[in-house]
A and B are shown apart, each in its own frame.
Chain A
Amino acid sequence: MTEKKQTEQTAFQIHRQDNVATALAPLSPGPVRLTGEADQPGLTALEEIPDGHKIAVTDIRAETPIIKYGIPIGTATADISRGAWVHLHCMRSNYDERSSHLDLRTGVPTDSEYL
């Protein structure tokens, strides 16, 4: 129950079957410790991942489910490497087609016309 060092990067995996975990602070490329229900102690982040965003904890093939909470939360639209950032650029909702028309960084819709 000790406080973790400020410099240690952590991500939280909520369910054992998940193929993504959530960054508890902005992640930089380098080692990341996994907390929660992870089977592995950690992995290497391949890129910058914003606070609260998802990191792949396994390799994920295109057109296979992204699993969080033990259930599919969408489908990969490209092959995703273990340690990569998982968000709108590489996954889509199975229901909400609109979320494929949002700006990756701001979430702002790109399909609305302001006339």
Chain B
Amino acid sequence: MDLKTYTWQGYARKNGKKGIRNKVLVVYTVECASFVAKEIARLADSKDVDVIGFSGCTDNDYAIRLLISLIRHPNVGAVLAVGLGCEYVQPEKLSDIAAAEGKHSSWMFIQNEGGTRKTIEKGLGLVKDMLEKLKETPRVEMDFSDLIVGAECGGSDYTSGLAGNTVVGAFYDKLVEAGGTAVFEEIVEAVGLIDLLRSRAADEQAAREITAVYDKAMDYCRSVHQYSISPGNFVGGLSTIEEKSMGAVVKSGSKPVQGVLKVGQTPEKAGLWLLDSTPDPHWMQFGITNPNDNEGLMDLISCGAQVAFLVTGRGNVVGSAVAPVIKITGNHHTYQKMEEDMDFDASEMLRTANRLEPLALALAKLTADVCGGQESKAEKLGHKEYFIPYKYQDKPAKRCGGQTEDAGARQ
């Protein structure tokens, strides 16, 4: 079945974007406000209320960009920002940004409201009011050309490169052919593949961006004397970082790479994009690239991905705030053992000949179903993880071909 035949009902945002979920996002601006924010969401008792936040009191440009990109995300219809009152990150500014996008928004300082109980009570009222207003969000027909999909792998084993990522790559090719947008990441897992990646650059600018981000990742690996490969990977049969890298890069499929995105940067046009989540060199040194799978997912979602894939061999259980996560495994034992957590079994690829095409189409159908409202396994179980760390990344530069931000929707 052609991907172009799939349609589903999404949510029309006033900034012109189309979401597949209709969420209230409660955002805390320092760890001191996290309990209150989480209590508000817990008491609201709705699948459509998610929490994210930044723990640091001292602010960080990267973290603020990440928060803002999630506030602007098409799956989010309303935002409540909660601060303590003495931190650097300003909930009022976050609320203003949401309002400028045409989203319902409000903000509070716990110190102004009079403490835990009073802030929770007021916040709960605000969130319930937002949930009511979101019922009026206009519906809009969507298809794959409206979709940004992000993919990363975690808990990889030998099946990830042979089956899980291979099927995602085949689906990505179809998604791009249908006019959609696909994002892949983990440049630190592209070691030895610069010629291959550069040969897939859509144009000169993309080739320059790919080379720069590859060189940076190699500098990072050399300077920390550590490549993105662990003892468990070797036990599982991966012998080199090059082998693991190719297993990771196959999830990008075979289409031209349009360019490199930084965290929080929305692709300026459809097609396949590489996400750079590696820290940039800075006086604080590199920092850690991706501390865990949830930061990787958060980064993909920050680029506007309405839905994200997590390919796992050994098994992972996480979901994410803001966007549904579809978990794919190429390991049949893992699928059987963790079926309540696994959305898609790609292992048939290894047992039976000529299964790539049918599996890619089956993944397309599942993706369309989840976009149309069907809960992913992680959503069903209530997973809504998030991770927003201190990190240094240069501000995304303007690309020649277009704008790096949704300038039209900004104040």
Contacts and interface: CB of A to CB of B under 8 A. Distances in A.
Whether chains A and B associate is yes
Interface string A92-112: 111110110010011111000
Contacts of A63: none
A3 B236 CA distance: 25
B351 A68 contact: no
A1 B352 contact: yes
A66 B157 CA distance: 19
Interface in B135-174: 157-159, 161-162, 166
B125 interface: no
A23 B237 contact: yes
Contact of B192 (A14, A23, A95): A95
Given A52-B157, A108-B231, A95 B237 contact: no
B122 to A, nearest CB: 53
A88 interface: yes
Given A95-B227, A96-B229, A102-B231, A86 B250 contact: no
B162 A99 contact: no
Interface residues of A, number: 39
B353 A88 contact: no
Interface in A24-41: 24, 35-36
B353 A93 contact: no
A110 to B, nearest CB: 11
Contact of B234 (A36, A69, A72, A88): A88
Interface in A59-98: 66, 68-69, 71-74, 86-88, 91-96, 98
Interface of A: 1, 3-4, 12, 14, 22-24, 35-36, 50-54, 66, 68-69, 71-74, 86-88, 91-96, 98-99, 102, 105-109
Q: Sorted from nearest, which 9 A-B pairs have the closest CB atoms?
A: A107-B234, A52-B237, A52-B158, A107-B231, A93-B240, A53-B237, A73-B243, A74-B240, A69-B246
